[in-house]
Amino acid sequence: MSEMTIEQPSSKERASRQRIPVAILGATGSVGQRFIQLLAAHPWFRIHEVVASDRSAGKAYGDAADWKLETSLPTEAADLRVRSLGDDLESALVFSSLDASVAGEAEELYASRGCAVVSNSRNHRMAPDVPLLIPEVNCDHLDALKVQKKRRGGKGFIVTNPNCSTIGLAMAVAPIERAHGIDVMHAFTMQAVSGAGYAGVSSFAILDNVVPYIGGEEEKVESEPRKILGRWTPEGFKDAPMKISAHTNRVPVLDGHTICVSLRFRQSEDLRRHFPIEKLIDDVREALVAFRGEPQRLGLPSAPEQPIVLLPDSDRPQPRLDRNAQNGMAVTVGRLRPCPVLDIRLVALVHNTIRGAAGAAILNAELLHARKLLP
Amino acid sequence: MSEMTIEQPSSKERASRQRIPVAILGATGSVGQRFIQLLAAHPWFRIHEVVASDRSAGKAYGDAADWKLETSLPTEAADLRVRSLGDDLESALVFSSLDASVAGEAEELYASRGCAVVSNSRNHRMAPDVPLLIPEVNCDHLDALKVQKKRRGGKGFIVTNPNCSTIGLAMAVAPIERAHGIDVMHAFTMQAVSGAGYAGVSSFAILDNVVPYIGGEEEKVESEPRKILGRWTPEGFKDAPMKISAHTNRVPVLDGHTICVSLRFRQSEDLRRHFPIEKLIDDVREALVAFRGEPQRLGLPSAPEQPIVLLPDSDRPQPRLDRNAQNGMAVTVGRLRPCPVLDIRLVALVHNTIRGAAGAAILNAELLHARKLLP
Amino acid sequence: MSEMTIEQPSSKERASRQRIPVAILGATGSVGQRFIQLLAAHPWFRIHEVVASDRSAGKAYGDAADWKLETSLPTEAADLRVRSLGDDLESALVFSSLDASVAGEAEELYASRGCAVVSNSRNHRMAPDVPLLIPEVNCDHLDALKVQKKRRGGKGFIVTNPNCSTIGLAMAVAPIERAHGIDVMHAFTMQAVSGAGYAGVSSFAILDNVVPYIGGEEEKVESEPRKILGRWTPEGFKDAPMKISAHTNRVPVLDGHTICVSLRFRQSEDLRRHFPIEKLIDDVREALVAFRGEPQRLGLPSAPEQPIVLLPDSDRPQPRLDRNAQNGMAVTVGRLRPCPVLDIRLVALVHNTIRGAAGAAILNAELLHARKLLP
Amino acid sequence: MSEMTIEQPSSKERASRQRIPVAILGATGSVGQRFIQLLAAHPWFRIHEVVASDRSAGKAYGDAADWKLETSLPTEAADLRVRSLGDDLESALVFSSLDASVAGEAEELYASRGCAVVSNSRNHRMAPDVPLLIPEVNCDHLDALKVQKKRRGGKGFIVTNPNCSTIGLAMAVAPIERAHGIDVMHAFTMQAVSGAGYAGVSSFAILDNVVPYIGGEEEKVESEPRKILGRWTPEGFKDAPMKISAHTNRVPVLDGHTICVSLRFRQSEDLRRHFPIEKLIDDVREALVAFRGEPQRLGLPSAPEQPIVLLPDSDRPQPRLDRNAQNGMAVTVGRLRPCPVLDIRLVALVHNTIRGAAGAAILNAELLHARKLLP
């Protein structure tokens, strides 16, 4: 090997060095591992720092993380030394998948130090100047960052993505909200065990069983979509004027949250007077299929070509068959049909740890980068 | 052994001989096996004839049935010779768990021959003179039998029990319908695989999966409760004036259908104006706990002491833990709480092959016998 | 109610007071809950004290235990105040289902205080003066108690039952060992998740999966049967002269360990020279069916009428269908057939938390009581 | 578009036309769908004809097949008209995944018509002039084709791949057989439900359960490896001189057969006298890692880079995590350790419908093509 090749990095190495260094808070957990998996080959970002609880700190990531994904642990992550939460970080872009018990304070800390904190945790989602972002749906909410940065007196900020169920629901109905407005929604979820983290659901609790309760989940699904589908105004976020009722359930599925939805249009009576329900359903079908957003226009690396995939078969979507649609970044929708009580109903499915968590945060960060909003 | 004991049957034998002989149509299927299990030790009825498809006819029941239940095959059934559908039967009481493709004609045939056909099949449920019976809820519907017998010009008749999901839903809301009336219901089901029969759901289709579609099921859950909760009048059945929307789903659970329900009272505005929702929920709680019906008053052998069991824990009912409440004959209810869109919501659970099928039919037959309506 | 009835307890109350008071160490865990369930209606023993970790101490048992069994929490246990490990106890009979990390010391402590400690934990199983007891198989091992009590200088002692897999294996082959002697065994297990405690196996780890490793399990299955099937001699325990190889696996089953066994007779060449393999298998079949032991002779309350139940069907035993045979106290055996490498092979099944844990310990205590060995 | 582009196919179209046309018998079943999935993008072969039962014949493949795989139905297959079994075919290369009830006759028919029949069915596997082929292990067996063609008096022939469990077992031990020879093996399988076809295992039969019996499976696992690991001689196939005992079990896993193996070397006493077991295990470890065969040397398109992947973790391989290693074409091995009864033991895992079925057959066909043995 000549000296030249030693001094001059290969184009691949150059590309690697030029990628933006990022840190991952809560890197050993189930969503943390998805971050590692999805960022390992990312064209823009490079895993530079991994942060976890004191129990893991100091260890190599490969030893600290009990790797549970089907793909093998990326070598570039295996040797990283795990940092302690609170340590100074070199990365200006920080992904967070911390447990809610520590996320609030830790994310605030790193934002105050000037980092862009892109969080999957619930703590700041409903804060009055924090975007609850789905890039396809509400990228205008990024305008809240000016207010947020001003509050903090610096360049750091926090951006959040919705709860794993909410993101499936909000994406599936966003085109409907845009087309006709939504007055009322009943959402009923059947959620995968990975949503509770690796140790979250004991096998003894869920084999041959359903648990019709997930702590705090219904409150999130009933409130977050109203913020997401609302608008940012000079006076702050203005919720979409819809009412939501959510029943959330845990089922023996590994990945993929299935959501049954019934909804009424905001102008239901008017619409129904002028159009047969079949025509309205055709409109909705077209709106779902045609739905595109900023990530598609910008060609963001993690953007699904088609954010909503409409499935024709009467018994789809199904989590095992459809959760990986468009690399797990699309929401699949099926069974669009009239509702005998409201107007229409449908079934939506989202991969809860990809589009519903790590993938959502990464897409958020990509949007921030494309919009030149990263510090 | 003396001659006396030979000539005079023991009291047990006498009891056995005096029990009413019954036939079971479709005896080898999953509901058929439940019939065998539940009737084997029945104090009033005695399994006398088993009827199945031509493929099984002529074999001993123990050889024809691929017995799948946890309790062992009752010896009194094992040696019965399987009869062919259409054969003349000695039993005047005939239970039917036939597949819908043959049940319609076969049940009509045996009714026309003078039998009381107590059916779990869907074919005649919505017929204008056939009771769709839940003895705790609508035993007044038995008055329709006069009309039905007259139509047929004989003593035979058909009585049906509701679909397995419907029965859980209808029982859980019957006390609410009685107390306040129900205007609108959204019902979301998570149904066990045994509901589809032993071969009905392939393991490859349901492991690590949810199937958000069950053929014909939503139609049943949206229509049957209206008949059940309605009244028999001189002009025929009069449906309860409620609207129902049902999403039905298959989940990897062996037995037990879980149903999430949101509902609005018929006089919702009035009630809400005069009472806080907490008070209305307390009323409903009391109505559920106090609910009793004709089977309890008559002390029918299969009647659960308490038809509706209200569970206090926030994460119940769960199919594995609660499906066998009161020998599988009670509907368990939990999570009674306000609905942000309608008035209240709850979760109900029913053992789909006991209270939701074979046990329901047996309770119907017990009511017929107690009311002296059997031929 | 008259004064008499107030002053004079009913016969039921008297019976209850006369039952022997017992304590349960580790009462809130999965085996602890089985102890509570099985002892609640026990004719000889009465749950008097429940002991758990400091986290639970002071609470009512009903609050401390997250009850997970299908039957409801016995009222007599619900109100008991949980004691701390190490507290002085009033009960002279102490059941232990403690975690191995604390069982060693705690059981030693209570034995030194004069209690009969009947333990399901692994710590003292292989000790040179502690019986590893299966009452049907080796009740002569109780003679070791004299030595043990002498060592401790008091009346207290420890008796253990085998590991949950071992007990299934050892019972299934005990009649074969007695009839022909066993030279070599290959045992392959498929173990239920309840064997690891409620939180032991994450659903994410085991849904759609098999884990071919259970820490420490193979060592137990390879050593314990040799002690169990051996003899107590004046010089101490003398192991049965057999070699065992065990592969232990975790599968997505709730309760019931399935064990495939291939074995060679000690006098294999002699036997095979004189008898066709079919004859030897018939002998083994008869030995299994005829197998009875001290619990059956003494009519102990928890003794299964038939300790080994031989199933004729070619695809049995199966955990879901057979684990509750004889109230979960029998080992079911099937597929007895020639082995192309050794002599014979079979499949055995044991309910791991009943016959394999709490039920085993209770049967041990019953034997101690019947033999008048309790302090 | 110019005329040129119409007349002259694009390079992609040319490539497509030049690919070898193939037919798939039994194309709608579970292995048939894997054939479609794996052949859709194959560089050498092109799906030209699909053949199924009369029930499907005449329909478009997309309508006839109830597509169950996670990837979507390849468009090039969706529109193919399904042919009837027995129809004349244009393809000289015919893959067969027919049910054993019809495979025997049908494969013989197409071979007699001059086709190369590459079969996954069991019917001709043990025939005296039919190779039972694992290209990495026994490609010398292809010499049997001369005899077979001569028998048939033409150019057509049948080549088979082993049973899905056998292929995992035989590959895992092939390097050991080569290094030291194997005298005796105990194999114990935990098999996925997909091995039985889509409708093969009812969910009611396998949820929360294990079935310790698979019809005909143990016989295959006990006989096929002896042929595979044996040699082709001028006198015919000569089995490897080993004895095998197999226990085969069905577990609730979707894909991936897990196999526990204990084995003794042919020269066990000699080896153990001269070498410590740790040294022998190191030898085996090296042999497994270094194992390569003809497909790797020839760079066949479906060949895994490393046919055997040795996993270091003590609890691997696991079906959900490891079945897709090397696109499902590698056998993963772990837990290599001493056996207290024989010499060594290990756990092997094979993707039963890829390396254990369709992928195996495709690799066989690739070898035939590379060796210029296709008609």
Q: What confidence tier does D92 reach under pLDDT thresholds 50, 70, 90?
A: very high
Respond yes or no on whether ipTM tops 0.90: yes
pLDDT at site A4:
37
Per-residue confidence (pLDDT) for residue B232, from 0 to 100 = 97
Which among C124, C186, C257, C369 is annotated as catalytic?
C257
pLDDT mean over D84-95: 96
A321 touches chain D (CB under 8 A): yes
Q: Mapping DSSP to helix (H, G, I), strand (E, B) and coil, where does residue A218 land?
A: helix
Flag whether residue C253 sits within 8 Å of chain A, measured between CB atoms.
yes
User: Average of pLDDT values for D82-86?
Assistant: 95
Strands D344-350 and D243-250: unpaired
Q: Is the pLDDT of residue D362 over 80?
A: yes
Verify whether the Cβ–Cβ distance A193 to C204 is below 8 Å: yes
Res B364: pLDDT:
98
Q: Is D202 in contact with B199 (Cβ distance < 8 A)? A: yes
Q: What is the mean pLDDT of chain B?
A: 93
Residue range C40-66, pLDDT digits in tens? 989 999 999 999 998 999 999 999 998
Helices (H), chain D: 3-7, 11-18, 30-39, 61-64, 75-78, 100-112, 135-138, 144-152, 164-180, 203-206, 217-228, 268-274, 277-290, 294-298, 319-322, 359-370
Confidence of residue B4 (pLDDT cuts 50, 70, 90): very low
D3 has a pLDDT exceeding 90:
no
C366 close to C299: Cβ distance less than 8 angstroms: no
Decide if B222 touches A, using CB distance below 8 A.
yes
Instruction: Show which of residues 183-202 on chain A sit within 8 Å of chain B, judged by CB atoms.
Output: 184-186, 188, 190
Report field, pTM of the whole predicted structure over 0.90: yes
Distance separating alpha carbons of residues B329 and B355, to the nearest angstrom = 5
| Percent of chain D surpassing pLDDT 90 | 88
Q: What is the mean pLDDT of chain A?
A: 93
Count chain B–chain C contacts defined by CB atoms under 8 A: 14
Q: Contact, A187 vs A166, CB < 8 A?
A: no
Residue of D207, D254, D321 lying closest to A208 (CB–CB): D207
pLDDT at D11 over 80: no
Quick: pLDDT tens for B42-83: 999 999 999 999 899 999 999 999 888 888 899 989 999 999
Report chain A residues whose CB lies below 8 A from the CB of C200: 202, 204
Decide if A209 and B321 are in contact by the 8 Å CB cutoff. Answer: yes
Q: Give whole-number Cα distances, D50 to D59, D87, D97, D99, D361, in Å.
A: 11, 11, 11, 15, 16
Chains that touch A (3 or more CB pairs under 8 A): B, C, D
Residue D325 CA to residue D329 CA, distance in Å, equals 7
pLDDT at C4: 37
Average pLDDT over residues C199-209: 91
Contact D210 C188 (CB under 8 A): no
pLDDT of B8 strictly over 70: no
Predicted local distance difference test score (pLDDT) of residue C8: 47
Q: Is C70's CB within 8 Å of B321's CB?
A: yes
Judged by CB atoms closer than 8 Å, whether chains meet at D321 and A70 is answered as yes
Residue B139 falls in the annotated catalytic set:
no
Confidence category of residue C316, pLDDT binned at 50, 70, 90: very high
pLDDT category, C67, cuts 50, 70, 90?
confident
State how far the Cα of C180 lies from the Cα of C167, in Å rounded to an integer.
Answer: 20
CB B30 within 8 A of CB B353: yes
In the Cβ-directed half-sphere of D192, how many Cα atoms lie within 13 Å?
32
Please give the average per-residue pLDDT across D326-338, as a whole number: 98
CB atoms within 10 A of CB C261: 28
- Which pLDDT tens digit goes with each residue over D207-232? 999 999 999 999 999 999 999 999 99
pLDDT reading at B2 higher than 80? no
Q: Choose the catalytic residue: B180, B257, B351, B369.
A: B257
Rg (CA), chain B: 21
Chain D residue numbers with beta carbons less than 8 Å from the beta carbon of A320 are 70, 254
What value does the mean pLDDT of chain D take? 93
- D332 shares contact with chain C (CB less than 8 Å): no
Q: Which chain B residues are within 8 Å of A211, Cβ to Cβ?
A: 315, 318
Between A68 and B159, where is the model more confident? B159
- D315 vs C contacts (CB less than 8 Å): 211-213
Q: Which residues of B touch D202 (CB under 8 A)?
A: 193, 198-203
| pLDDT at site B17 | 61
Strand-strand pairing, B308-310 and A20-25: unpaired
Which chains pack against C, by 3+ Cβ pairs within 8 A? Answer: A, B, D
Of B115, B164, B351, B369, the active-site residue reads B164
Does any CB of chain C come closer than 8 Å to the CB of residue D212? yes
Q: What mean pLDDT do residues B159-168 have? A: 97
Give the best residue of B37, B68, B70, B306 to mutate against chain C (max C CB count within 10 A): B70
Mean pLDDT (chain C) is 93
Q: Which residues of C touch D216 (CB under 8 A)?
A: none
Least confident span in C288-297, C310-319, D66-75: D66-75
- Can you tell me whether residue A155 is helix, strand or coil? coil
Yes or no, beta carbons of D207 and B201 under 8 Å apart: no
Q: Pick the catalytic residue: D139, D141, D164, D180?
A: D164
Q: Which of C209, C258, C335 sits opposite D253 (nearest CB)?
A: C209
The answer to whether C266 and C182 have CB atoms below 8 angstroms apart is: yes
Has residue D159 got a pLDDT over 60?
A: yes
End-to-end CA distance of chain C: 39
Q: Is C201–A205 a contact, with Cβ atoms under 8 angstroms apart? A: no
DSSP D266-320: TTHHHHHHHS-HHHHHHHHHHHHHH---HHHHHT-TT--SSSEEE--STT---HH
Pick from A207, A254, A321: CB nearest D70: A321
- Interface membership of A337 toward B (CB under 8 Å): no
pLDDT, one tens digit per residue, over B115-130 is 999 999 999 999 999 9
Q: Report residue A228 as tokens.
A: 């997401």
Look at B207 and D193 and tell me if their CB atoms are within 8 Å: yes
Q: Least CB-CB distance to B193: which of D30, D68, D204?
A: D204
Length of chain D: 375
Q: Is D257 a catalytic residue?
A: yes
**D221-271 pLDDT, tens per residue?**
999 999 999 999 999 999 999 999 999 999 999 999 999 999 999 999 999
Least confident span in A356-370, B67-81, B299-313, C212-226: B67-81
> Does the pLDDT value for residue A269 go beyond 70?
yes
* Residue A75 φ then ψ, to 5°: -60, -35
Q: In the prediction, which pLDDT does D50 show?
A: 97
Task: Give the model's pLDDT for residue D5.
Answer: 37
Please give the share of chain A, as a percent, with pLDDT higher than 70: 95
How does DSSP assign B137-166, residue by residue? HHGGGGGHHHHHHHHHTSS-EEEE---HHH
Q: What is the DSSP string of D221-264?
A: HHHHHHHHTSEEETTEEE--S-EEEEEEEE-S-SS-EEEEEEEE
Q: Under a CB-based contact definition with an 8 Å cutoff, are residues D308 and D346 in contact?
A: no
Q: Residue A110 is encoded by which pair of tokens?
A: 């790193």
Whether the CB-CB separation of C339 and C346 falls below 8 Å is answered with no
Please tell me the distance from the alpha carbon of residue D39 to that of residue D359, in angstroms, as a whole number. 9
Task: State the burial class of residue A170 (Cβ atoms within 10 Å of its Cβ: 0-12, 13-18, 19+).
Answer: buried
Summarised one tens digit per residue, pLDDT across range A2-50 is 333 344 445 555 555 689 999 999 999 889 999 999 999 899 999 999 9
How far A26 CA sits from the closest chain D CA (Å)?
A: 22
CB contact under 8 Å between C204 and A254, yes or no, is: yes
